[in-house]
Every structure is written in C-alpha cells, then in structure tokens.
Structure 1
Amino acid sequence: MRVDLLHAFSNTDNKRPWNEVLDQARRRIIRADQLGIDGFWLGEHHFDHIGIDQSPNPVVLLADLASRTESIRIGIAAVILPIWHPVRLAEDIALLDHMTGGRLDVALSRGVLQAEIINFNAEADRKDDALSKEIFAEHLDILRAAWTTDPLSWCSKRFEVPHPETKWPDATEEYTDENGRITGLSIIPKPVQPGGPALYSVTDTPGGFAGAAKQGLNVITWFPTRSTLDDLNAVYHSEVDASLLAPHEPRNSAVLRGCLIAPTDDEARALAEPQVRAKFEFINKVRGLGIWLDRGEDPTDSTLQEMDPFDLLFERDHLLIGSPETVATKMIEMAQNHQIEHWLLSPYCSEDDAVVDQTLRLLAEEVLPKVRASA
C-alpha cells in the first residue's frame, strides 16, 4: 500500500511573496519525509494569476525539494508533455532522477487548460483531439528512445535529431557516418532507473485508460468512484493483457482524493467544507454533476441535484475527511472493495500550515498503521 501527497503551490490572489510559497513546500516535504509518507508529487501549471497552483517548472522545483529529503519518492503529476521539446525533457528528467537517487516518478498529460498549451505549442491545442494525441505519442516515443538508445537519432515531420548541419569536433565513429557526418547524439545522463522513471498518465475516461495501457503507462485518476472506477480498471487490465508494453506498477490505477484529518468528524468537516463546496461548484460548471457519480446514477435526478455537496461527495468516496478513525475506515473499505494499492492525497486548507500539519501527523500516526496493516 503506497500513500503519497499531491502538493499544490497555492497562493490565493497572489497575496504572499512567492519565496514564502516555496518555503512552505520545503517545510511540507521535509515533514512528510520525516513522517514516513511514501511520495510527494507536484503538478505543472503556467500563467496562474489566480493562485490555485503556481508550478511552472516541476523539474527545477523538485530538484530543490528532493535535496532536502532522504527516502520519500518524488513525483511530477503531470508534465504537460506536448509543450516540451522531448529531448530536452529527457535530459532534465534523467538528471533529476540522479539528483533524487532514483526516487523519481513522472506522470504525463496532454494538458488541460488551453492557455497553458497553445502559448507554448499551438499545434497541440486539444480542440484537434487526434492531432493532440499524435503529438503526445511522438513525444513519449522520443522521451523513451532518449533514455534507452545511444546514439539517438530521430526523423519525422516535427523533429530531426541530429540536425543535418550538426558538427562535433573529433566525434567518435559510433556518432558519425563514413563521411564524418554526425548521425546521432549522446543523451547524457541516462536515468538511474533502467529505462527511465515509472511513467503515468493522468486520466478519467475509458479511452484514456485504454490508451495508457497501450503505451505502457501507469494511471493516476481523480474523479471516478466505486463501480465507475472498477469499470475503468477493467478496461486497463484488458488492454495491458493485449499489449506488449507492461506498466511499472500494480495494474490498478492510483487514486487521488482530497484529505483533511482532525480529532473529530465535526472539526474536519467545518475546516474543509467551504473549499469542498467551492471546488464542487467549479467542477460542476466545467464537467457537470455526472463526473462525481457512480455507474447508473442520473445527474438530472433532482434528489442528487439538491443534496448537500459535502454529503454527496463523502457518500461516493470522493472525500477522505474526518477523524482518524473515519478516514482509516473509509480508506480500508475503498482499498478492499476496489483494489486500491496507491493513493495520492491532496490536503484541503493547503495554505494553512497548522491544519495541514495536523492532517499529516494524524495520517502518519493513526491512519496509516491501520490502513497498511489491513493491506
């Protein structure tokens, strides 16, 4: 049973100096490492003037954070793959793998917010879904090739590696042809982990799960719950069985859930409920009520539409909020009923050090011993 944290660089309305935001992340990863939390993940986000998650370069950020830890695994969830040059990304991730001593995991995404995608690579705009997937697939192939082949050469309509005019003084024969022309590049360093870090896809659709399996990627998912989650994992299993590419990790998806732990259920709910309601209302505007529901539930059902958001989400296992006993019980039941082997927990009230510190301490001291013993 693996239990990780997903950290957001929250800075609501840009009220705090950014060095304070960074220092908070430093304190949090150090504390998580000391408490025996298994992993610590960051996302990639750009141009976030609202301050939901200001994380423009997770590779650089994690290089700093990882240097302050000893054993916790380090994760990126997720790199917006189409907006990077894949060879440069391969170099950066390989170097970070060395800097973490092989503790690195990397999730990949086609991007969610249009502004983040088109201002770096307009061709990858997801309004053309097929083209977006094509670009992602090629970048993934180049990333893996850069980690596993030497010399690296690649020729397509988007990339020519090496560039035909490349010159390199005294290049050795494995990188040149009989005329001394450079035919391949050495990508240095290769990752510590053979073949590169474990790679994940962040997705919540049958097509996304099937695509991840076909590309040999593990899966991280947020919204699917109960039988919907089971159905998606079944799609993934079927495609893995038919694919030649096996993922690194157990075949069930890693599950992301919001978390807040306090001495009592009432205290935890009082702290988290304003954010739960705000997130619920925002997601409903973007994705609709159905994203939260179980298989067979009707998003137009007036009973569901009129439910208190906290109660609706808690009953459908979207919230790990409550006392240590309540959270442990819910995690154990979900793990047993839906074969969950890997959690990513996103703390509510993430800008409040006292609240998050309490959540981490109770998680480590009172929840995880029960959860791991049950597993």
Structure 2
Amino acid sequence: MKASLFYLPSIGSRAEIEAGMAGMNPHFYQRMLKELTEQIKLGDELGYDSVSFTEHHFHIEGFELSNNPVLLDLYFAMQTKRIRVGQLGIVLPASNPIRVAEDIAMLDHMTGGRANAGFARGYQRRWVDVMAQQTHGIHGALPNQHDEIDNANRLAFEENFRIVKKCWTEEMLTFDGKFWKVPAGPTPWTLDTTQKWGKGVDNGILTAVGVVPKPLQKPHPPLFQPFASSENTVRFCAQEGITPILPPMLPVYEEKLYSVYSEVSGKPKGQGVGVLRDVIICDTDEEAKALWRDSGQFSGRAWFEPFGFRRGMMDPKTGKSPTSDEVIEMGYAYVGTVDTVLRAMETQQKRQPVDWVFCYTYNALVPHPILMKSIETFWTKVMPRFR
C-alpha cells in the first residue's frame, strides 16, 4: 500500500473560519504556505509517495483555498527531493484541455518526472458555472444526482480527458468533438518555417497542431480521479487506466464499485484503487476525537454534507449513518492512538484491500505541531504494517 498526503488547504482554524471571510486574509494564506511547506518536506523525508491538491475557486469562507493545484504542485516540488506531486483534481469541464495537458507536461519536466495527473468533474455550481461559461456552458454536478446537468458535465469531462491524453501521446493533434474541434475550422497558415521544419499544414491551411512539451514520463504521468462514488465513474476509470479514489462508503455501496473496477480492468478486486481517509493520530483517542470534531466533522457538516457527500454512509434501508465511534471501528476514519488506527486500517484492508490511502490532513483546522506529529507517526508507526 502507498500513502499520500491530501490537502484541501484550509487557511484558518475553526474559530478563525467561524469569525467570517477567512479566505480574504492574506496573513492566513501566508501562514498556510509556511505550514504546508514544513509538512510536505517532512512527508518527503519520511517517504510518503505523493502530495495532492484539489481545484476550487471563490472560497471566501476559508475552506479549500486551492484554485491552482498545478502551481501549488510546482511550489512544493521545488522545495522537496523525491515526493511526487499531483492534483485531485483539475476540474476538466471548466478547463481548456490543451492548456491542462501543457501545464502538467511542464510540471512533469520541471519536477524531473515527479508529476501525477488527477482530474475531477466539478460539483460546486458557484464556481463551475462561472468558470465554464465561455468554454462549454457546463454546470456543477452534485454527487449521486443523475440528471441532465450531470450528463452534460460527464460528457464534457470525458471529451476533455481524451483530448488531454491525445495531447500527451500523439505527435500531432486533431479532434472533432461536441465541445472542441482541432483545428477550429479552415485556418490559414502560410509560414515557410512550418513548411520546412514543422508539420500540420496542407496548401497553406492548418490541418493539425502539435502540443508541446510532451510529458517526461511515458506515455504520461500516472492518472487519478477523486472521489469516485458512481458506477459510471469507476467504469470509466477502469477503461482509461485511472486510479479511482473512493470516499468512505458503506459496503452495500463500495462493494459494487470494487467489483465493477475489477471486472472492467481485469485486476483483482481492490488493485489499482485507493481510498480517502481522515488521519489524526494522538496520544489518546479522546484527544484525537476532539481534534476531529473541530476539523473533519466540522468541515464535513459545514461544507461537504450539503453537497451530498455523506450519502454513501447512510444505510439505504434505515437512512441512518454510523456513529463517530462506529466510523472509526469500521475503518472509515483513522482517528485515535496508533493502536486504534492500526485496528481501523486492518479492518479496512480485511474488508477490501486497496493499493492506496490518501490521508486527509485538515491543515490549519488541526494545529500545525499536532499535524506534524500525526504525519510522522502515521508513517513510522502505522504504515510499516501495510507497506
């Protein structure tokens, strides 16, 4: 099993966020960069496989100030030696896929081949509707809500994804899709330089473009998708060689997803799949749970539950969700002492072995010194059992 650090970088404690408009405070942002630098350098020295950031915009509330994950990747890669850097993920329906392909290829070269590539569909309408209006007119699609908005979002995601892969793997790019056409139409290009030393022109008309640079890693950086919770998404991941990262879900939901990925990919169940887990390790269970209440549970209630992310933890017959203690006992959160977290991980791996665990860090919501100790303890006291 590989362990990765995952950041939806918050820039304030619970009290600072509840005071209002924390995202506007430049001093909080500077503090966040300083603390993340120390945490990621520690992860690099310890041996964590990678670190990843999400993409979100307009987060004035102080949660998830991660509007450019590739730029964050490069910032932290320049301060580390071996840890891989990636995105969970770039929201493709709101992006220009050629620019995405260029940016990640540049990141791959600038990091010496340490780039991962992660793509998401986008669920927050506040920013997806604004950012996608000039490209596709696509809206944010809520998890577990299958309607026309969801279908249009998925079509744009899949088309953009295929363009990104073509940019990386084909010398010259042409494409004729619903949202993109390359070339865009009859485009005159009579430059002698292209005729002598390039490609993609016929009788003075552009016929193809070459997207450069190509990634350093061949055929391209490893691919990931957060946070897969539908059969359609998992099937797409299996078909395209993407590692899906599953959020906490009861067996009645997750078992089907593991089975679909295995059937389509031809791999044993759980192989090529990762899970997202809250990770907070302290000297006592009580201390860890108290920190969890002001971090994972606080942000969950304030930010994620309204978008439907807790539905996977609701029993379809009773509508009830497990208690906090039951969530830990069932291996859906790694919160507590080393022994408690070991038992939780063993329960998870016994129920369904997976290749990856992405450790949700809750920076700023968990005080920096405690989080540093938790990151080190998880790697040195827990992961040796599973590596």
Q: Same fold (TM over 0.5)?
A: yes
C-alpha deviation, 1:90, in angstroms: 0.7
Task: Mark the CA change 1:113 to 1:289 in structure 2 (over 3 Å): closer, same or farther.
Answer: closer
In 2: Cα distance, 1:39 partner to 1:204 partner: 22
- The answer as to whether partners of 1:111 and 1:117 remain within 8 angstroms in 2 is yes
Q: How many residues align?
A: 359
Amino acid at match of 2:180: F
Question: Residue 52 of structure 1 corresponds to which residue in structure 2?
Answer: 63
Give the secondary structure class of the aligned counterpart of 2:257: helix
Question: Residue 248 of structure 2 corresponds to which residue in structure 1?
Answer: 223
2:261 counterpart of 1:236: yes
Give the secondary structure class of the aligned counterpart of 2:205: coil
C-alpha deviation, 1:270, in angstroms: 2.4
Question: Residue 162 of structure 2 corresponds to which residue in structure 1?
Answer: 141
- The answer as to whether partners of 1:226 and 1:338 remain within 8 angstroms in 2 is no
2:126 counterpart of 1:106: no
In 1: Cα distance, 2:126 partner to 2:215 partner: 31
Give the secondary structure class of the aligned counterpart of 1:170: helix
Match of 1:179 among 203, 210, 214: 203
Amino acid at match of 2:294: P
Question: Residue 130 of structure 1 corresponds to which residue in structure 2?
Answer: 151
- The answer as to whether partners of 2:10 and 2:32 remain within 8 angstroms in 1 is yes
In 1: Cα distance, 2:295 partner to 2:208 partner: 52
C-alpha deviation, 1:255, in angstroms: 0.1
Task: Mark the CA change 1:260 to 1:182 in structure 2 (over 3 Å): closer, same or farther.
Answer: same
Question: Residue 354 of structure 1 corresponds to which residue in structure 2?
Answer: 369
- The answer as to whether partners of 2:53 and 2:66 remain within 8 angstroms in 1 is yes
2:187 counterpart of 1:165: yes
Give the secondary structure class of the aligned counterpart of 2:75: helix
Question: Residue 15 of structure 2 corresponds to which residue in structure 1?
Answer: none
* CA distances 1:284-334 after superposition (whole Å, capped 9, x unpaired): 44428642146x6521x5xx5xx7x42242233221001112112221331
2:84 counterpart of 1:73: yes
Match of 1:188 among 212, 216, 220: 212
Question: Residue 366 of structure 1 corresponds to which residue in structure 2?
Answer: 381
TM-score (norm 1): 0.88
Range moving further from structure 2, 129-138 or 62-71: 129-138
In 2: Cα distance, 1:91 partner to 1:45 partner: 20
2:341 counterpart of 1:327: yes
Give the secondary structure class of the aligned counterpart of 2:219: coil
Q: Which runs of 5+ in 1 are unaligned?
A: none
Question: Residue 289 of structure 2 corresponds to which residue in structure 1?
Answer: 269
Amino acid at match of 1:165: T
Give the secondary structure class of the aligned counterpart of 1:98: helix
Task: Mark the CA change 1:313 to 1:350 in structure 2 (over 3 Å): closer, same or farther.
Answer: farther
- The answer as to whether partners of 2:9 and 2:362 remain within 8 angstroms in 1 is no
In 1: Cα distance, 2:171 partner to 2:309 partner: 48
Task: Mark the CA change 1:165 to 1:207 in structure 2 (over 3 Å): closer, same or farther.
Answer: closer
Amino acid at match of 1:275: S
Question: Residue 230 of structure 2 corresponds to which residue in structure 1?
Answer: 205
Range moving further from structure 2, 342-351 or 171-180: 171-180
Match of 2:172 among 140, 145, 151: 151
In 2: Cα distance, 1:289 partner to 1:113 partner: 16
Range moving further from structure 2, 149-158 or 21-30: 149-158
- The answer as to whether partners of 2:245 and 2:274 remain within 8 angstroms in 1 is yes
In 1: Cα distance, 2:192 partner to 2:174 partner: 18
In 2: Cα distance, 1:366 partner to 1:153 partner: 51
In 2: Cα distance, 1:273 partner to 1:284 partner: 15
- The answer as to whether partners of 1:144 and 1:195 remain within 8 angstroms in 2 is no
Q: Which runs of 5+ in 2 are unaligned?
A: 13-21, 142-147
In 2: Cα distance, 1:144 partner to 1:65 partner: 25
C-alpha deviation, 1:349, in angstroms: 5.5
Give the secondary structure class of the aligned counterpart of 1:40: strand
In 1: Cα distance, 2:297 partner to 2:204 partner: 65
Give the secondary structure class of the aligned counterpart of 1:298: coil
Give the secondary structure class of the aligned counterpart of 1:362: helix
2:279 counterpart of 1:259: yes
Task: Mark the CA change 1:34 to 1:166 in structure 2 (over 3 Å): closer, same or farther.
Answer: farther
C-alpha deviation, 1:340, in angstroms: 1.7
Task: Mark the CA change 1:67 to 1:171 in structure 2 (over 3 Å): closer, same or farther.
Answer: same
Range moving further from structure 2, 77-86 or 193-202: 193-202
Give the secondary structure class of the aligned counterpart of 1:364: helix
Range moving further from structure 2, 313-322 or 45-54: 313-322
Amino acid at match of 1:19: Q
In 2: Cα distance, 1:278 partner to 1:188 partner: 44
C-alpha deviation, 1:191, in angstroms: 0.4
- The answer as to whether partners of 1:293 and 1:316 remain within 8 angstroms in 2 is no
- The answer as to whether partners of 2:11 and 2:364 remain within 8 angstroms in 1 is no
Identity of aligned residues (%): 25
Amino acid at match of 2:338: P
Question: Residue 340 of structure 1 corresponds to which residue in structure 2?
Answer: 354
TM-score (norm 2): 0.85
In 2: Cα distance, 1:85 partner to 1:115 partner: 19
In 2: Cα distance, 1:34 partner to 1:88 partner: 32
Range moving further from structure 2, 218-227 or 172-181: 172-181
